[in-house]
A and B are shown apart, each in its own frame.
Chain A
Amino acid sequence: MTVAYPMALLALASCCFALYVHLRGPGSESQPHSAFILLRGHIDKHVRGVSRIYSRHLLFARLVLFICFTALIAGVHWRPDGGTILVVDGPISTPGEWDSPLTIVRAGYPPTEESNFESVRSVDAEPNWAAAVSFGRKLAPSAGTVQLLRQVRESKKQIRAGAALFGDAVVVSVVADADSPPRLTIGQTRYSLTQRSPDWFLRDRIESGVGLIEIEGRRPYPICIPDSDPLKVANTGWPDAVQALLKGLPHVQLVDPEDAEWRVGPALENGTHWAPFAANLTHFTFESKPEKLQPAILRFERDLPPPEVVLKHWSPLPNSSGPILLANHAPVVDMIRGPSGQTRRFGFSPDETDIPKTAAWPVLFFDALNHDRARRSRCLEISAGHATVLSSLNDVRLTYPDGRVKSLKTRDGLVVVPALDEQGVYTLESNGVVASLAVQQGQVKEGRVVQMPSESVAEVDRRAWQVLGILVALWIFLIPTGGRRRWLMLVIIILLGLSLVPELIGDREAPIVLAVDISQSMPKEETLAQVEAVTKTLSTRLTARVDGGDSVEQAVRANASLPEFRGGTKHAPILSTAAELAGSNGVIVLLSDGQASDGPIAVQNQVFTLAVNSSRPDARIRTANGIQVGGTQFIRVELMSDKTVAGRLKIGDEQIDVSLTAGDVQVIRTVSEPQDGSVVEVELFVDGDRLKANNRWLIHVRQPRSTKGVVVGSNADWLRRAGLNVTRVPPDELMERGAEISDARALAIIDVPAASIPATVQANIRRWVYSGGLLFLAGQSNAFGNGGWVGSELDAMSPLDSRPKRPNPQPVGVVFLIDRSGSQSEASGGPGLRAVADIASGLSSSLEKNDLVGLIGFSGDARVLTPLTPLEALNSSLPVPTLARGGTQLGPALTKAAELLARPGLMKKLVVLISDGHFADPGQLQPHVARLASEGVNFVGFAIGKRPDLSTMRRIAEQLDGTAVRASQPVHSLVLNRLSDVISESLVRPGGPVLADPSWSSRIGGNPPSIAGRIRTSLRPGARALATAGGEPILAEWQLGRGRVVSLATDRWTLSAEQWANLFGHALLPATGGPQFMKKNDRLWFKTAPNRPPAVGDVIFTDDTGRRLTRTWTPSGPGQSWTDIPKGRPGLLAVSTMTQSGAITDVISRAYPEELATTGVDKIALELQAAVTGGRRLGSPLEMKPVIEAAGRRPDPLYGIWAGLLCLLCGLVDCVIWTRRT
Chain B
Amino acid sequence: MNRRDGLVNHLTESELWQLASQYPFFLRRSQRVQQMGQKRNAQSRMGRDFHGYAPYRSGEDVRHVDWPVFARTGSLFVRRYEDESFGRIMLVVDASGSMGVDGGSKWLWSRQLASVLGFAALQAGHQVIIAVCHRQQVLFSRPFHGQDCAADLFTYLAATRPAGSVDLSQAVDAIRSRNAYGRVVFFSDFMTEIKVDTRLAWLTGLAERCCLVRLLKPNELIVEHDQISDPESARRHIFSAGGRQVFQSRLAAFEQAFHDAVARLGLPLVDLQVGDDFHVACNSVMAEFGVGKTRHQAV
Residue pair B238, A1222 in contact (C-beta under 8 Å) = yes
Docked-complex contact B237 and A39, CB < 8 angstroms: yes
Is the pair A27, B234 in contact by a Cβ cutoff of 8 Å? Answer: yes
Does B97 sit within 8 A of A, measured CB to CB? yes
CB of B65, distance to nearest CB on chain A (Å): 47
Instruction: Check if A36 sits within 8 Å of B194, measured CB to CB.
Output: no
Query: B221 at the A/B interface (Cβ < 8 Å)?
Result: yes
Of A26, A35, A37, A38, which one neighbours B236 at CB under 8 angstroms?
A: A26
Interface residues on A, range: 20 to 34
> In the complex, which residues of chain A have a beta carbon less than 8 angstroms from the beta carbon of B99?
34
Q: Which residue of A lies closest to B255 (CB)?
A: A35
Residues A27 and B191 in contact in the complex (CB < 8 Å), given A32-B97, A38-B247, A43-B237: no
A30 touches B238 (CB 8 A): yes
Return the contact of B232 from the options A31, A36, A38 (Cβ within 8 A): A36
A35 and B227 within 8 A (CB): no
List B contacts of A26 (CB < 8 A): 227, 236, 238
Task: List residues 6-51 of chain A with CB under 8 A from any CB of chain B.
Answer: 26-27, 29-41, 43
Measured in the bound complex, the distance between the Cα atoms of B123 and A632 in whole Å is: 137
Known: A26-B238, A37-B165, A37-B194. A31 touches B227 (CB 8 A): yes
CB-defined contacts of A30 to chain B, threshold 8 Å? 225, 227-229, 236-238
Q: Which chain A residues numbered 1202 to 1220 have a C-beta less than 8 Å away from chain B?
A: none
Q: How far is the CA of A26 from the CA of B226 in the complex (A)?
A: 11
Q: Which residues of B contact A32 (CB under 8 A)?
A: 97-98, 101-102, 228-231
Contacts of A31 in B (CB 8 A): 101, 224-225, 227-229
Do B235 and A36 touch (CB < 8 A)? Answer: yes
Complex Cα distance, B236 from A1054, in Å, reads 127
Which of chain A's residues have a CB closer than 8 A to the CB of B220?
Answer: 34-35
A55 on the B face (CB < 8 A): yes
* B192 beta carbon closer than 8 Å to chain A: yes
Q: Which of B102, B165, B221 contacts A35 (CB 8 A)?
A: B221
Q: Which residue of chain B is the closest to A32 with respect to CB atoms?
A: B231
Which of A37, A40, A43, A56 has the largest count of B CB atoms less than 10 A from its CB? A37
Kindly state the separation between the CA atoms of A7 and B221 in the bound complex, as whole angstroms: 52
Within 8 A of A (CB), among B63-104: 97-99, 101-102
Closest to A59 in B: B234
With A30-B225, A33-B229, A35-B251 already in contact, the answer to whether A41 and B194 are too (CB < 8 A) is yes
A35 and B235 contact, CB distance less than 8 A: no
Q: How many B residues are at the interface, by size bracket?
A: 20 to 34
Contact call B236/A34, Cβ cutoff below 8 A: no
Flag if A54 contacts B235 (CB, 8 Å): yes
Contact B236 A40, beta carbon cutoff 8 Å = no
Chain B residues whose C-beta falls within 8 Å of the C-beta of A55 in the assembled complex: 234-236
A403 to B225, CA, bound (A): 76
Please give me the residue from chain A that is nearest to B97 by CB atom. A32
Residues from chain A with Cβ under 8 Å of B189 in the complex: 34
Point out the residues of chain B lying under 8 angstroms from A36, CB to CB.
98, 228-232, 235, 237
Taking the nearest CB of chain A, how far is it from the CB of B154, in angstroms? 25
Q: Say how far A34's CB is from chain B's closest CB, in angstroms.
A: 3
Partner of B235, one of A29, A34, A38, A40: A40
Chain A CB within 8 A of B245 CB:
no
Chain A residue, CB-CB nearest to B250 = A38
- How far does the alpha carbon of A553 sit from the alpha carbon of B225 in the complex, in Å? 76
What's the Cα separation between A53 and B113 when bound, in Å? 36
* Cβ A27 vs Cβ B221 within 8 A: no
**Bound state CA distance, A36 and B165, in angstroms?**
11
Contact A38 B254 (CB under 8 A): yes
Q: How far is the CB of A36 from chain B (nearest CB, A)?
A: 4
Assess whether B235 is in contact with A27, with CB atoms less than 8 Å apart: yes
Is B155 in the interface zone, CB < 8 Å from A? no
Q: A26-B227, A1222-B238 are in contact. Are A35 and B191 (CB under 8 A)?
A: yes
Q: Does B233 contact A (CB under 8 A)?
A: yes
A29 to chain B, nearest CB (A): 6
Q: A38-B251, A39-B247 are in contact. Are A33 and B234 (CB under 8 A)?
A: no
| A30 vs B247: C-alpha distance when bound (angstroms) | 16
Report yes or no: A35 in contact with B238, Cβ–Cβ below 8 A. no
Is there a chain A Cβ closer than 8 Å to B223's Cβ?
yes
Checking A29, A40, A56, A1222 against B230 with a beta-carbon cut-off of 8 angstroms, the contacting residue is: A40
Q: How far is the CA of A1088 from the CA of B189 in the complex (A)?
A: 109
Give the distance in Å from the alpha carbon of A55 to the alpha carbon of B228 in the complex: 14
Q: What is the chain A residue whose CB lies nearest that of B248?
A: A35
B254 & A35 in contact (Cβ 8 Å cutoff): yes
A54 and B233 within 8 A (CB): yes
**Which residues from B are CB-within-8-Å of A41?**
194
CB contact between B227 and one of A27, A38, A40, A43 (< 8 Å): that residue: A27
A43 proximity list for chain B (CB < 8 A): 235, 237
Cβ-defined partner of B191 (8 Å) among A37, A54, A1222: A37
Q: How far is the CA of A277 from the CA of B220 in the complex (A)?
A: 95
Collect the chain B residues with CB atoms within 8 Å of residue A1222's CB: 236-238
Q: List residues of chain A with CB within 8 A of the CB of B225.
A: 30-31, 33
Residue of B nearest to A35 (CB): B251
| Chain A residue, CB-CB nearest to B226 | A30
Interface centre among A31, A35, A55 (most CB of B within 10 A): A35
Residues A34 and B234 in contact, CB atoms below 8 Å apart: no
Complex contacts, A34 vs chain B, CB 8 Å? 98-99, 101, 189, 191, 220, 231
Q: In the complex, what distance in Å separates the CA atom of A101 from the CA atom of B193?
A: 57
For A58, the closest partner residue in chain B by CB is: B234
**How many angstroms between the C-alpha atoms of A186 and B238 in the bound complex?**
87
A33 and B238 CA atoms in complex are apart in Å by 12
B108 to chain A, nearest CB (A): 15
Q: How far is the CB of B143 from chain A (nearest CB, A)?
A: 31
CA distance A1209 to B147 in the complex (A): 65
Which of B192, B228, B230 has the most chain A CB within a 10 Å cutoff?
A: B230
- Give chain B nearest CB distance to A656 CB in angstroms: 102
The answer for the CA separation of A1222 and B230 in the assembled complex, in Å, is 14
Which residue of chain B has its CB nearest to the CB of A56?
B234
Establish whether residues B223 and A33, one from each chain, have CB atoms under 8 Å apart when the complex forms. yes
- Complex Cα spacing A40 to B189, Å: 17
- Of all chain A residues, the one with the shortest Cβ separation from B239 is A39
Give chain B nearest CB distance to A993 CB in angstroms: 124
Q: Which residues of chain A from 60 to 82 have a CB within 8 Å of any chain B CB?
A: none
A54 to B236, CA, bound (A): 9
CA distance A41 to B97 in the complex (A): 17
- Residues in A neighbouring B191, C-beta threshold 8 A: 34-35, 37
Residues of the B chain whose Cβ atoms lie less than 8 Å from the Cβ of A54: 233-235
Which residues of A are found within 8 Å of B238, using beta-carbon distances? Answer: 26, 30, 1222
Minimum Cβ distance to chain A for residue B196 (Å): 9
Whether the Cβ atoms of B231 and A33 lie closer than 8 Å is: yes
A54 to B234, CA, bound (A): 6
Known: A26-B238, A27-B235. A37 touches B229 (CB 8 A): no
Q: Which residue of B lies closest to A36 (CB)?
A: B230
User: CA A37 – CA B224 in complex, angstroms?
Assistant: 16
CA of A56 to CA of B225 in the docked complex: distance in angstroms?
A: 22
A1189 to B238, CA, bound (A): 61
CB distance from A55 to the nearest CB of B (A): 5
Of all chain B residues, which has the CB nearest A39?
B237
Taking a contact as CB atoms closer than 8 A, the residue among B97, B192, B236 that contacts A27 in the complex is B236
Which B residues lie within 8 Å of A56 (CB)? 234
Shortest distance between the CB of B213 and any CB in chain A (Å) = 16
Most chain A CB within a 10 A radius of its CB, from B102, B165, B228: B228
A1222 to B254, CA, bound (A): 26
A27 and B230 CA atoms in complex are apart in Å by 9
The answer on a CB contact under 8 Å between A38 and B229 is no
| Further contacts, 10 of them, CB under 8 A, given A32-B101, A33-B229, A33-B231 | A27-B235, A31-B224, A32-B230, A35-B221, A35-B223, A37-B165, A38-B251, A39-B228, A39-B230, A39-B237
**11 residue pairs A–B, Cβ–Cβ below 8 Å:** A26-B236, A27-B234, A30-B228, A33-B223, A33-B231, A35-B228, A36-B98, A36-B237, A39-B228, A40-B194, A1222-B238
Interface residues of B (CB under 8 A from A): 97-99, 101-102, 165, 189, 191-194, 220-221, 223-225, 227-238, 247, 250-251, 254
What 3 A-B pairs come out closest when comparing CB atoms?
A: A27-B236, A30-B227, A34-B98
